[in-house]
Amino acid sequence: MPPQEHLKHGPLTESCVHLCIDMQRLFAEGPWETPWMKRVLPMVERLARAFPARTVFTRFIPPERPDQRSGTWRRYFERWSEMTLAQLPPGATELLPPLAKLVPPAEIVDKPVYSPWTASGLHERLRARGVDTLVISGAETDVCVLATVMGAVDLGYRVVIPTDALCSSSDRTHDALLTLYNERFGQQIEAVSTEEILRSWR
């Protein structure tokens, strides 16, 4: 579904933060490579460079070993044991270089699961800054970005999705989620282009 042409709930202000999800080497190469990541990186970088002090990057950090996680996460990392810290090459969890250069003033929040809202203190940090609106970009549309978006909705944030600054390994589920946001979450989620976000952020 094409993005909306305009932000229907008005311009973005100083209460907005760009929350960029998991744009890491971990997902740009190797077994977890997300093929679109390099394609959307220029748009993500545009957003981050426009407001570096109002950008927060998340990083997905695997455990050292599978037995450091419990439940289905332990089974998950037994399946993906080559993606644990003990086996990954140095620097695999780092941000992609063009984004890493923006830290600081941009900030980093590390997370052990899909959602950045679990045991990270992110919500408290954002509320302390008076943030009520999030522009959410990054990877993957249908996994970590999805967890971020739905958590943000539950916490009461206005959520803006830059449709050309998201990436996934699946066209089908990426498109399905953009349709879902537009058709079922129109009061809380706005899906527009990066250009429209930059034009509307004052």
**Residues 201 and 10: beta-carbon distance below 8 Å:** no
Every domain of the chain and the residues it spans: 16-61+91-200
Q: What is the DSSP letter of 2?
A: P
**Residues 136 and 159: beta-carbon distance below 8 Å:** yes
From the list 130, 128, 146, the residue with the least C-alpha distance to 138 is 146
Exposure string for 46-75, b = 16+ CB within 10 A, e = fewer: bbbeebbebbbbbbbebbeebeebeeeeee
Average pLDDT over residues 101-129: 95
- The pLDDT value recorded for residue 5 is 65
Fold of domain 16-61+91-200: Rossmann fold (3.40.50)
- Does residue 4 have a pLDDT over 60? no
**Residues 109 and 126: beta-carbon distance below 8 Å:** no
Backbone phi, psi, residue 42, to 5°: -60, -35
**Banded model confidence at residue 83, pLDDT cuts 50, 70, 90:** very high
Backbone phi, psi, residue 75, to 5°: -65, -40
pLDDT tens profile 8-22 = 899 999 999 999 999
pTM of the entire structure?
Answer: 0.94
- Does residue 185 have a pLDDT over 50? yes
**Banded model confidence at residue 119, pLDDT cuts 50, 70, 90:** confident
- Does residue 1 have a pLDDT over 60? no
**Banded model confidence at residue 87, pLDDT cuts 50, 70, 90:** very high
Question: Tokens at residue 100, please?
Answer: 């890493």
Average pLDDT over residues 112-120: 93
